[in-house]
Amino acid sequence: MKQLTVDIKAKGLIFDLDGTIADTMPVHFSVYRDILKDYGVDFTWEIFGTLAGIPAVGTFERINQLYGLNIQAEEMGHFKEAEYEKRMHLIRPLDPVVEIIHTWHGRLPMAVGTGGYSRLAWKTLEIIGLSHLFSILVSAEDVTQHKPHPETFLQCALLMGVEPSFCQVFEDGVLGMQAAEAAGMMAVNITEYL
């Protein structure tokens, strides 16, 4: 297995949360899958993967388009997050990324840039024992444009006081990788290291 490393040019590190720091994606997927069964949708892991990084309300908007449904996205997005919270105890850390966080904490500024909601993001970090290592977290509520738009990561860079070109982003999603590249940052797809 390849070793996950920090680029020698990096002056700040930005981490996606779901699927990057914490193995939350199977938990999110199981909730979406259970909800969509009631609508007669066989929601697949492949389709779910294309929606990674989009907040729950936006995900249901996309699901409506993909499957020709008329789900109330706002209402169902909040319901989905409540159901997810009931299963959060199943979350596990992703060790190669956690190792980078522990190694570089206090040496380089670090931030979390997530498409998730702030309260649940902090709870995730708490569950896996990392909340004390971050003071900067940019969530879905903190930006107007979500991944693949670069706003989330650019806001992280601003709060860290690091020029975007010197930020290294650790991501697992296609939209997140696109956002990092659009921000002019060094992007690492962590799925190649798991």
Q: What would the two tokens of residue 193 be?
A: 């290291």
Q: Give 83-122 as a 3 state SS string.
A: HHHHCHHHCCECHHHHHHHHHHECCECEEEECCCCHHHHH
Q: What would the two tokens of residue 194 be?
A: 């798991």
Tell me, what amino acid is at 77? G
168 forms beta bridges with 13, 186
Quote the DSSP letter at residue 7: -
Q: Which residue is catalytic, options 7, 16, 18, 95?
A: 16
Contact predicate 175/53, CB 8 Å = yes
Tell me, what amino acid is at 70? N
Q: How far apart are the first and last CA of the chain?
A: 8
Residue 16 falls in the annotated catalytic set:
yes
Annotated catalytic sites, by residue?
A: 16
